A = this chain, B = another copy of it.
């Protein structure tokens, strides 16, 4: 570390003719300091270029102002990177606005094997964590449920006094996707769901069923297929849906929707003239493929921001423990009225 003449709390106290403990309490925003004094202290701290020593501070206050951000490493050539990147940058911004530092951590299976969740939290002296991209069979999910650290999960509806989650209303998203197709005259609507290791899958299935039921269309289990969110699983499911004579498919991810479109193109089946397609997520590619993809937008920037504020609530033992964001239908070229 570079050597520099460090200005201390004592220097600020001396310059203002007040006690060091008053300066310390003012800088740490204690409520018993009058606002005028606090402003004077902050002004002088700025003037003298005071830099708090976070290590010393961590030892004294036990408040580290550090949170962990657990991310998955990239898989499948980075298609979903942009989804996570947007959540990550908005989380970081909200943390910064509140004087919190974000430490980047990982939920790769390698890392989950290497070290326990609580050990990471303790080692890194984190006050809490936001965890993205966990699956139902991940070891960290068990460990988090046993942990006493404040944790916010993305898209996993587990909550108690120290665990909360941020998610999109997946049932509603699936419902408005399916209703959009019904309003266009479709009755034989296939559903390509994600795998069961994702919590969102059950909710999306419920939304699809609810939309059909509400509109007096009976549920045909043969039209419901389990994919795994990837383009390949969309590509593979296309033939089956054709065989079943569907006129529309709702896919639980944009990448599966894109796989369906690709296979239909290869087979000479026109989208949307012959088959309408709706995706889920609104990743950037959705606007660039041909035809452009009708989809359900998840508000990624709001997800990151909400995750931070929820975490702050859990850290300060507030009773709020989950935030559900509203999905939005984005109509583009891949859906059309049934002919």
Contacts and interface: CB of A to CB of B under 8 A. Distances in A.
Interface in A250-293: 258, 284-285, 288-290
Given A78-B82, A104-B103, A288-B289, A2 B122 contact: yes
Contacts of A81: 81-82, 85-86, 89, 284
Interface residues of A, number: 55
Contacts of A301: 74
B93 A85 contact: no
Contacts of A148: 2
A104 B93 CA distance: 10
**Copies of this subunit:** 2
A155 to B, nearest CB: 18
Interface in A74-96: 74, 77-79, 81-82, 84-86, 88-90, 92-93, 96
A54 B258 contact: no
A230 interface: no
Contact of A74 (B49, B71, B85, B119): B85
A4 interface: yes
A73 B82 CA distance: 12
Contacts of A49: 119
30 contacts: A1-B62, A2-B122, A51-B119, A53-B125, A55-B56, A55-B59, A55-B64, A56-B59, A71-B89, A73-B92, A74-B89, A74-B301, A77-B284, A78-B85, A78-B300, A79-B284, A81-B81, A81-B82, A82-B284, A84-B85, A88-B104, A92-B104, A92-B106, A96-B106, A101-B103, A103-B104, A104-B104, A258-B288, A285-B285, A289-B289
Interface of A: 1-2, 4, 49, 51-56, 58-59, 62, 64, 69, 71, 73-74, 77-79, 81-82, 84-86, 88-90, 92-93, 96, 101-104, 106, 108, 111, 119, 122-125, 127, 148-149, 258, 284-285, 288-290, 300-301
Given A55-B125, A96-B111, 11 more contacts: A1-B64, A54-B123, A55-B59, A56-B59, A82-B284, A84-B85, A85-B88, A101-B124, A102-B103, A103-B103, A103-B104
